[in-house]
Amino acid sequence: MPCRGRGRFSLLLPLALLPLACSPGDGGSTDSITLYTCVNDESIQPVISQFEADNSGTEVEFFRAPTGDLNARVAGDVRSGGLKADVVWACDPLTMQGYVDQELVGEWTPDNASGIPDQFRTDDYVGVAVLYMVAVHHDDVPAPSSWSDLAGPDYESVAVSDPNVAASALGALGWFSQAPDYGLDFYATLEDNGAEQVSTPDEVTNGVAQGLYQAGITIANSGYLAKDEGSPIGVVWPEPGAVAIYGPIALAQTSADSALAKDFISYVVSEPGQQILAEAGSYPTLPGVEGPEFPADAPVVYPDWPTITADRDALLGDYQKIFGG
């Protein structure tokens, strides 16, 4: 019976292999915190690396996922012993406010948060990066000068992103719905003129670059990246202003005593942290720190997030009557 041992081994092999897959690296005694975030890898990694380099013996472990998965993970945590993050870095205030309302995060902001403009912070969280909703247009059509131009006769096909999926689109919807001369009628006119809804701002950019749409509403980072790579598009900051959506960071309430978690938040809000973030391609919130391309005197407007939070369902319901879905 020469094969008996081999048979047993083959049964155990899959289990024996698992530790190989589970080896994240060497252990060692380090002070560590866990960060939950939806910020993309290219932006978050340099910030974490620099923080760890400045604070030897510390480690920032992180779980990074799109907002939907982040919400699901947090909801799962809450129902299985509590939030497992020390710090949460979200991509929009609406998501963060939901966590605050569940008493998962908040009740602390760092002292240096006072340097961040009021419109980017609350008593529970502080904005550390901004997404600007701007207009993109194909090179074959003239650049719009104001948002209302997109609803005019010069543009037969315009792309917008889905506010049910992208918080940046929801921020824009919230601002337009309250802005004088716009309101939800702006979206109705766009739709009447043949505008189409896609999922994300990146799809808007790609659609305009491919020539599927003449123009669209997207985020500035996406528009500039495509333009710099050679896509035939232009990026415009229309009047009365690009819509600013900030990504806030907050301390988990269960980590209120974690000095390292507080240090990390303070670092991201500080000038060096904001500088690293800016170099990684994000727009910082701290005035004076130079970020990606930002035209001189570019107009900017700010959505009223408390109102959007309160009216979200009605707002999305009314929007759904226009674009369906």
Partner 1 sequence: MPSRPAGLGWRFGVLAVGAIIALLVALPVFRLVYVVWTEGSASLHEIFGRPGLGEAVVNTVLLAAAVTVVAVPMGTLVALGLRRADVPGRRWWRFALLLPVLVPEFVLGYSWTQAYGRAGFTDTILGLPWPSVLGPWGVWAVLVVNTVPLTYLFAAVGLATRAEPNLERAARASGAGAASVLRDVTLPLLRPSIAAASVLSFVLTLGSFAIPQVMGTPAGFGTVTTRIYRDLSLGSDPLSFVEALALALLLVAIAVVVVLPADLWLGPRLRITRVAHPEGAPIVTSRGGAGRWIAAGLGGYLLLGVVVPLIALLAAAVTPAVGVSPSPSNWTFDNFLLVLTSRNAEALGRSAVLAFAAAALLTLLGGCVSVLERRRAGRAMASLVTLTLVLPGSTLAVALLITYGRWLGSGLALILLAYLAKLWAFAHRPISGALDRLPPGELQAARASGAGALTAARTVALRPLAPALLGAWLICFVTALHEVTMSSLLYGPGSETLAVVVLNSQELGRIGPTAALSILLTLVILVPAVPLWMLIRWLRSPRRVRGGARSRSLAHAH
Sites for partner 1 among residues 194-223 (CB under 8 A)? 196-203, 205-206, 209-212, 222
**Beta pairing class for 283-284 and 126-138:** antiparallel
* Nearest CA-CA partner of 225 in 79, 43, 9: 43
146 vs 143: CA distance, rounded Å: 9
Residues 104-133 that bind partner 1 (CB under 8 A): none
User: How does DSSP classify residue 74?
Assistant: H
> Looking at beta carbons only, is 133 or 226 nearer to partner 1?
226
**Tally of CB atoms within 10 A around 195:** 24
Residues 232-251 that bind partner 1 (CB under 8 A): 232-233
* Nearest CA-CA partner of 133 in 234, 221, 226: 221
* Binding of partner 1 by 103 (CB under 8 A): no
> Looking at beta carbons only, is 204 or 286 nearer to partner 1?
204
* Binding of partner 1 by 30 (CB under 8 A): no
Q: Does the N-terminal peptide bond of residue 240 adopt cis geometry, omega within 30 degrees of 0?
A: yes
| Shortest distance (Å) from residue 4 CB to partner 1 | 9
* Binding of partner 1 by 257 (CB under 8 A): no
> Looking at beta carbons only, is 299 or 325 nearer to partner 1?
325
Judge contact between 251 and 266, C-beta under 8 A: no
| Shortest distance (Å) from residue 95 CB to partner 1 | 5
**Tally of CB atoms within 10 A around 30:** 12
Judged by CB under 8 A, which of 116, 130, 131, 170 binds partner 1?
170
Judged by CB under 8 A, which of 2, 5, 13, 103 binds partner 1?
13
| Shortest distance (Å) from residue 296 CB to partner 1 | 26
| Shortest distance (Å) from residue 193 CB to partner 1 | 17
* Binding of partner 1 by 61 (CB under 8 A): yes
Residues 6+ away with beta carbon under 8 Å from 78:
102, 104
